[in-house]
Amino acid sequence: MPEQATVPAQTPALWRNGFRPFYLLASVFAALSVALWALQLAGVLVRPYLAGALWHAHELLFGFTLAVVVGFLFTAGRNWSNRPTPSGLSLAAFAALWVAARVLVLTPFGWAAALVNTAFPLAAAVALAIPFLAARNRRNYFFVAMLVLIAAAVLAVHLAQLEVIALPAWLGIQVALDAVLLIMTVMAGRVIPMFTNNGIAGANATLRPWLEKAALGSVLVLLLADTLQLGGLALALVLALGSAVHLVRWWLWQPWKTLRTPLVWVLHAAYLWIPVYLALRGAAALGLVAASVATHALTVGAIGGLVIGMMTRTARGHTGRPLLADRADVACYVLVLAAAVVRVAVPLAAPAATLHAVLGSAALWSAGFGLYALRYWPVLSRARVDGKAG
């Protein structure tokens, strides 16, 4: 079924495709939530049901990141399967469910927060499974499985917080981080070499089948190790090998040839944070660095960088605009990636300055995603400039 037949012509532009509301919601939430977390850390704000670092991690993963993942998959899933994905009222219902989940974690109603936060990724998994199964699109069943895994992880976080299960809430956070890392590893392998070769003459970004399998395998092994709560030297070895594999993979994509093309170099710069994260986390497993430094290499550097890069590219491509980053786009890239450098490098170099690094990084992150929201609000809420559906 062609895309034009899946969305009624009278549907408002904002609700015609998944990336539109979810990129807008995610960027606004990213700008506000990290600022709220910085104020909370400084003792200005106190949160009820989920508080402190757990609230911060929960919202970055199951709020911001999951919104972008679902928006992207609803958009790409329609193209991959040539079947309809949520639009119109059903897409608005998904957005409302996501907003309700963000509100409920700030209330005393723990069970309601648990149910709604679990329901969102599960409902998204079902919404993707329907077109994928209808089209027998087996290559992308993986994404349905990842959404189910993320739903299980967020449920585990809440059940632990509600003292229903005797597991640490942070285990659910770590499993969800691994699931997101696996999604990024898969998607980066599909799009970064392709975008590099399509956008830069003679780039010759290279894929090695054995290396692609090794990169995916390293994250699967890490997921298993974290599920089993492996630590110490054994975990450090897994992480060191994974870091080396991902670094070689990145190098074969010829990142130095992308420096004149911001829409491409931002993806390479973001992906580099993955081997950095794995190396730092290995060092943390040996007690050499703080674990939070490693985690933020992944969340601010890799997730933040890939998200801002893909949100600009997807929004441009799916609204009929040129695939060229303008000054506002480049400013977004620089602000978000600078937030990662400040959050990771400053605590490593000067641990006593960690609070200042957190506040500075939060300001840069909020500015980067706030700028995206302002720049792309009219783009995401209006019809395509080329008159096509989508």
pLDDT tens per residue, range 91-122: 999 999 999 999 999 888 999 999 999 999 99
Helix/strand/coil (H/E/C) assignment for every residue in the chain: CCHHHCCCCCCCHHHCCCHHHHHHHHHHHHHHHHHHHHHHHCCCCCCCCCCHHHHHHHHHHHHHHHHHHHHHHHHHHHHHHCCCCCCHHHHHHHHHHHHHHHHHCCCCCHHHHHHHHHHHHHHHHHHHHHHHHHCCCHHHHHHHHHHHHHHHHHHHHHHHHCCCCCCCHHHHHHHHHHHHHHHHHHHHHHHHHHHHHHHCCCCCCCCCHHHHHHHHHHHHHHHHHHHCCCCHHHHHHHHHHHHHHHHHHHHHCCHHHHCCCHHHHHHHHHHHHHHHHHHHHHHHHCCCCCHHHHHHHHHHHHHHHHHHHHHHHHHHHCCCCCCCCCHHHHHHHHHHHHHHHHHHHHHHHCHHHHHHHHHHHHHHHHHHHHHHHHHHHHHHHCCCCCCCCC
Q: What is the pLDDT of residue 53?
A: 85
d(CA 211, CA 200): 23
265 pLDDT higher than 70? yes
Whether the per-residue pLDDT at 248 is higher than 80: the answer is yes
pLDDT of residue 4: 40
Q: How far apart are CA 113 and CA 118, in angstroms?
A: 8
Residue 2 has pLDDT above 50, yes or no: no
pLDDT of residue 101: 96
Q: Which of 54-63, 165-174, 332-341 has the highest mean pLDDT?
A: 332-341
Q: Kindly state the average pLDDT of the residues 255-282.
A: 97
**pLDDT averaged over every residue in the chain:** 93
Mean of pLDDT values over 199-210: 91
pLDDT of residue 75: 95
**Percent of the chain predicted with pLDDT > 70:** 96
Q: Which residues contact 237 (CB under 8 A, 6 or more apart)?
A: 282
Any idea of the CA torsion for 169, 114, 365, 252, to the nearest 10 degrees? Answer: 70
pLDDT value at residue 191: 95
Task: Kindly indicate the confidence band of residue 6, based on its pLDDT and cuts at 50, 70 and 90.
Answer: low
Least-confidence region, from 37-46, 214-223, 277-286? 37-46
Mean local confidence (pLDDT), 1-25 = 79
**pLDDT score, position 107:** 85
Rounded to an integer, the average pLDDT of 369-383 is 95
Chain segment 21-76, per-residue pLDDT in tens: 999 999 999 999 877 777 766 766 666 678 788 988 999 999 999 999 999 999 99
Cβ neighbourhood burial of 229 (10 Å; 0-12, 13-18, 19+): exposed
- Please tell me the distance from the alpha carbon of residue 233 to that of residue 220, in angstroms, as a whole number: 18
Look at residue 337 and tell me whether its pLDDT is greater than 90: yes
